[in-house]
């Protein structure tokens, strides 16, 4: 600062140096909107429920060709770039203000077809969810390398040639048996003939169902499959139904519980000359366990029209099959079909919605029958496809229930986990083939108790359940994993432990000692070898948990189902029906009684599933269960929405739900889940119950209340499930 003038000092320029003028930065003008359909309606991939609506953006001229309906896009939302799906393009916007432009098109693949977009919206409305949540389930993550793979015309021509060669081998349509489902007006044959389907001749309505599918109709059936091997196994029958649909000129979709079932169905499809797309065929397997590249490759094969048949697990229910003619859900009672992510849809109901929206046939099949499937039959929405009792008796093994009453003459030995009659059956059956032993619990000894007072053993740190992971080790906590090396019972002070539940690994160890020199195989998700797909037709003991039973090509000589009381116990809704489903899945792998096949149910299981297993009558148990639920107003006789979370948050959501004839049950505290451990904050659950006619209204009201909660940013947590599978 100058002391005289008070002005700041100046830095003089060097002599002869000219200062260039400041250069102005040119800003390119943004491209104008597309000349035709300049407005894009985008589903933004955001979680908040109050944002569940399409948002409008301008399509720049530079993106006019790439911005097709169904593609992935990047858009600007709340000051940041977010992902989205372009649902549609329109001429005029509903929003009166200025619209932001679409930032870029991530991929030119229209991954959301119009049919899938409509289905996703219907699923979101049915389960009180958001469209973004459903599309996240329906569309697999993008794999750029797979997307860039060549899709030459030669590959498509090879697929077409495979279909044409298969069409030349078809025979004349079967005229036996009257048509059970009447043809819809205007239906006409779409193919010259259909292939033989010997696997369906034993069922009432089976040939008629296939004829209607082949003719382009949309019948709906609940199929109770018979046990058997060869052409009469369930996978072969499904392959014959799919081949009938393909020869009729339409696509097919088969959704199965796990990868092993997918392998079996794909193998059966090859037997009817429907090959994989990699071999020049028309079948794509869409399984998440195959990896992201293989999954996305199968998805694109269906999207691009190369695959007319998609076989996969839960997420494949949304596969973009062109001209869908048949949708199949096998073993709908398996928990793998229930989506664990919001909005928690079930495959059976998703395919039912899809069959109505796209005019496709629906087949819900299994060895057992769920109460929900029985509801479809009772309401007249679907027809049942079953075999006569004489055929059932000829195909099934001899079933015996070894309860305490039947074992009374054994004296004290009747209390043994493997009583003498079961031991004799195992010994005799091992002379002619493999024997299956089903154990309801995995692990070694998952639950232990005090040896003196039999109080369940708990961890001293977190009070979690204690169990044994091996025979020579200390008990470990199932929650925190700590070893209880010096524990004593809190009730009596004893240090000894006794087993309460015996797992599959301990059972295999005991059977190995009981049958020395016999091969013992263990199949399960937690064992070292994992789940076995198949075992050879040689004498061996196969110990498996429910759902992990391997397939024997000629069938098992016998099956012993242990711990029937444990398998059929539980207070949850449908425990008895689920126990019968697990038992039938194992019993269906056994040879017929005419070939010496035997099934022994060991233990005092619940009376109704035990009797249904002995009679091999899953439909009877499902019908009786449905009658009781109708009387007690339990699902599926009513529609229920379960709201689980912190007390204040649940109460606020429930208070905003207004539906005619609404009945609010609760809220009540939720018990601690021993598998997940204690929650950070106690949770409660409220049930909203309405008649079936008000189900759609209830779902809309719950979704609206959740949207208000999201917009207001209310505290706490709430999880909403419509028609939950674990109601009790």
CATH number, domain containing residue 378: 3.40.50.300
pLDDT tens column, 275-315? 999 999 999 999 998 999 999 999 999 999 999 999 999 99
- pLDDT for 488 equals 79
Residues 102-146 have pLDDT tens digits of 999 999 999 999 999 999 999 999 999 999 999 999 999 999 999
Unique residue bearing structure tokens 């001429």: 91
Higher pLDDT, 36 or 443: 36
Radius of gyration of the chain (CA): 31
Q: Are 591 and 706 in a shared domain?
A: no
The encoded tokens of residue 608 equal 């109704």
Q: Tell me how far apart the alpha carbons of residues 598 and 594 are, in angstroms, rounded to a whole number.
A: 10
pLDDT confidence of residue 189: 38
* Residues 445 and 501 sit within 8 Å (Cβ to Cβ): yes
Q: What is the mean pLDDT of residues 561-577?
A: 88
Q: Is residue 147 predicted with pLDDT exceeding 50?
A: yes
- Same domain (yes/no): 386, 406: no
User: What is the DSSP code (8-state) at residue 32?
Assistant: P
Which of 542, 569, 546 is CA-nearest to residue 556? Answer: 542
Q: How high is the pLDDT of residue 160?
A: 42
Structure confidence at residue 495 as a pLDDT band (50, 70, 90)? confident
Write the pLDDT tens digit of every residue in 327-343: 999 999 999 999 999 99
Task: Quote the domain boundaries for residue 132.
Answer: 39-140
Mark whether 605 and 646 lie in a shared domain: no
Rounded mean pLDDT, 63-83: 95
pLDDT at 178: 31
Q: Please, which pLDDT band fits residue 469 given cuts at 50, 70 and 90?
A: confident
What is the pLDDT at residue 491?
A: 76
Q: How far is Cα 239 from Cα 261, in angstroms, rounded to an integer?
A: 12
Report the C-alpha gap between 309 and 326 in whole angstroms.
Answer: 10
Question: How do residues 707-717 score in pLDDT, each as one tens digit?
Answer: 999 999 999 99
Q: What is the pLDDT of residue 184?
A: 33
Model pLDDT, residue 170: 31
Which stretch of DSSP H or E encloses residue 235? helix 234-247
Separation CA 208–CA 191 (nearest Å): 16
pLDDT at 26: 61
Distance from the first to the final alpha carbon of the chain = 83
User: Picking from 53-57, 240-244, 348-352, 492-496, which range would have the lowest pLDDT averaged per residue?
Assistant: 492-496
Strand 639-645 to 435-438 pairing: unpaired
pLDDT digits (tens, 9 = 90+) for 203-215: 999 999 999 999 9
pLDDT at 670 over 90: no
Query: For residue 472, what pLDDT is reported?
Result: 67
Q: Total domain count for the chain? A: 4
Quick one: 268 and 170 in the same domain? yes
Confidence band, pLDDT 50/70/90 cuts, at residue 158:
very low
The arithmetic mean of pLDDT across residues 334-360, rounded, is 96
- Does 566 map to a domain? yes
Does residue 674 have a pLDDT over 60?
Answer: no
Name which residue leads in pLDDT, 503 or 93.
93
Q: How many Cβ atoms are within 10 Å of 588's Cβ, its own excluded?
A: 26
Average pLDDT for the chain: 87
Q: Are residues 307 and 337 in the same domain?
A: yes
Dihedral pair phi/psi, residue 425, rounded to 5°: -65, -40
Do 410 and 443 share a structural domain?
yes
In a domain, 24, yes or no: no
Whether residues 323 and 408 fall in one domain: no
User: In this model, does residue 163 exceed pLDDT 50?
Assistant: no
Residue 215 lies in a domain: yes
The region of weakest confidence among 186-190, 442-446, 515-519, 562-566 is 186-190
**pLDDT exceeds cutoff 50 at 478:** yes
Band of residue 432 on the pLDDT scale cut at 50, 70, 90:
very high
In terms of domains, do 421 and 471 share one?
yes
Among 112, 140, 168, the domain boundary falls at 140
Listed residues 140, 167, 198: the one ending a domain: 140
Q: What is the Cα 172 distance to its own chain's centre?
A: 37
Same structural domain for residues 507 and 573? yes
Tell me, yes or no, whether 4 lies in a domain. no
**CB contact at 8 A, 711 and 50:** yes
Structural domain contains residue 328: yes
Domain with 62 in it: what CATH number? 3.40.1440.60
194 phi and psi angles, rounded to 5 deg:
-130, 155
State whether 559 and 620 are in the same domain: yes
Q: Are residues 181 and 278 in the same domain?
A: yes
- Rounded to an integer, the average pLDDT of 550-579 is 91
Q: Which of 629, 660, 680 is the last residue of a domain?
A: 629
Tell me whether residue 208 is in a domain: yes
Mean pLDDT on 148-162: 47
Q: Is 148 a domain residue?
A: no
Q: Which residue has the higher pLDDT, 378 or 198?
A: 378
Within-domain flag for 5: no
What mean pLDDT is predicted for residues 75-90? 95
pTM of the model: 0.86
Residue showing tokens 């691009």: 304
Query: Does one domain contain both 321 and 196?
Result: yes
Better-scored residue on pLDDT, 22 or 469: 469
DSSP code of 276? B
Q: Is the pLDDT of residue 318 over 80?
A: yes
What confidence category does residue 251 fall into, taking pLDDT thresholds of 50, 70 and 90? very high
pLDDT of the residue at 557: 96
Q: Whole-angstrom Cα distance, residue 606 to residue 524?
A: 25
| Cβ proximity of 665 and 686 under 8 Å | yes
In sequence order, what DSSP letters do the residues of 304-361 get, joined into one string? TTS-SEEEESGGGGG---TTEEEEEEE-TTSGGGB-SSTT--BHHHHHHHHHHHHT-E
What are the φ/ψ torsions at residue 327 (nearest 5 degrees)? -120, 130
């Amino acid at each position: 600062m100058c002391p005289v003038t008070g002005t700041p000092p100046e830095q003089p320029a060097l002599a002869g140096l000219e200062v260039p003028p400041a250069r102005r930065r040119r800003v390119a003008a943004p491209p104008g909107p597309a000349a035709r359909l300049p407005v894009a309606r985008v589903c933004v991939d955001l979680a908040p429920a109050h944002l569940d609506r399409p948002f409008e953006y301008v399509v720049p001229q530079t993106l006019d060709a790439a911005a097709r309906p169904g593609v992935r896009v990047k858009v600007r939302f709340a000051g940041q770039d977010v992902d989205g799906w372009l649902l549609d393009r329109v001429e005029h916007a509903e929003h009166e203000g200025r619209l932001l432009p679409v930032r870029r098109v991530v991929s030119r693949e229209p991954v959301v077809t119009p049919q899938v977009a409509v289905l996703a919206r219907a699923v979101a409305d049915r389960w009180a969810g958001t469209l973004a949540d459903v599309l996240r389930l329906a569309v697999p993550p993008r794999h750029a390398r797979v997307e860039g793979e060549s899709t030459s015309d030669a590959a498509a021509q090879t697929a077409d040639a495979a279909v044409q060669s298969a069409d030349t081998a078809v025979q004349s349509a079967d005229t036996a048996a009257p048509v059970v489902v009447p043809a819809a007006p205007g239906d006409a044959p779409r193919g010259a003939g259909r292939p033989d389907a010997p696997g369906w001749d034993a069922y009432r309505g089976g040939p008629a169902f296939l004829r209607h599918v082949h003719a382009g109709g949309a019948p709906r059936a609940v199929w109770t499959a018979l046990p058997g091997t060869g052409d009469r196994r369930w996978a072969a029958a499904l392959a014959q139904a799919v081949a009938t649909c393909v020869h009729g000129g339409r696509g097919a979709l088969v959704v199965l519980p796990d990868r092993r079932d997918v392998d079996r169905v794909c193998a059966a499809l090859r037997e009817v000359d429907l090959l994989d797309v990699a071999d020049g065929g028309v079948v794509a397997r869409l399984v998440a366990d195959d990896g992201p590249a293989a999954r996305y490759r199968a998805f694109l094969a269906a999207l691009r029209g190369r695959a007319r048949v998609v076989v996969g697990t839960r997420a494949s229910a949304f596969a973009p099959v062109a001209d869908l003619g048949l949708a199949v859900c096998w073993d709908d009672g398996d928990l793998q079909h229930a989506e664990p992510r919001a909005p928690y849809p079930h495959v059976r109901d998703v395919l039912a919605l899809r069959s109505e929206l796209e005019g496709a046939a629906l087949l819900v099949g299994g060895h057992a029958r769920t109460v929900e499937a029985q509801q479809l039959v009772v309401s007249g929405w679907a027809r049942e496809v079953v075999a006569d009792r004489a055929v059932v008796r000829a195909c099934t093994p001899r079933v015996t229930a070894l309860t305490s009453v039947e074992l009374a003459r054994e004296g004290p030995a009747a209390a043994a986990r493997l009583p003498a009659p079961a031991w004799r059956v195992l010994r005799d059956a091992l002379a002619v083939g493999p024997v299956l032993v089903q154990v309801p619990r995995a692990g070694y000894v998952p639950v232990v108790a005090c040896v003196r007072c039999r109080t369940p053993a708990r961890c001293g740190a977190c009070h979690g359940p204690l169990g044994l992971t091996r025979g020579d080790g200390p008990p470990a906590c199932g929650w925190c994993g700590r070893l209880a090396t010096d524990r004593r019972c809190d009730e009596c002070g004893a240090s000894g432990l006794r087993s309460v539940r015996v797992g599959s690994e301990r059972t295999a160890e005991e059977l190995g000692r009981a049958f020395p020199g016999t091969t013992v195989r263990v199949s399960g998700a937690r064992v070292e070898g994992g789940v076995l797909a198949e075992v050879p037709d040689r004498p061996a003991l196969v110990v498996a948990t429910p759902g992990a039973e391997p397939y024997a090509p000629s069938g098992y000589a016998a099956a012993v189902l242990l711990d029937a009381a444990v398998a059929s116990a539980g207070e949850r809704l449908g425990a008895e029906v689920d126990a019968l489903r697990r038992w039938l899945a194992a019993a269906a792998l056994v040879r017929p009684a005419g070939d010496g096949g035997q099934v022994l149910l060991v233990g005092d299981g619940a009376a109704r599933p035990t009797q249904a297993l002995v009679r091999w009558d899953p439909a009877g148990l499902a019908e009786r269960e449905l009658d009781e639920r109708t009387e007690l107003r339990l699902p599926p006789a009513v529609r229920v929405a379960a709201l689980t979370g912190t007390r204040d948050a649940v109460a606020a959501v429930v208070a905003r739900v207004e539906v005619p004839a609404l009945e609010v049950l609760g809220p009540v505290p939720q018990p601690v889940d021993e598998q997940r451990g204690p929650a950070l904050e106690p949770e409660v659950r409220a049930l909203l119950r309405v008649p079936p006619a008000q189900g759609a209204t209830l779902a809309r009201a719950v979704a609206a209340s959740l949207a208000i909660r999201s917009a207001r940013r209310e505290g706490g947590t709430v999880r909403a499930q419509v028609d939950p599978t674990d109601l009790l």
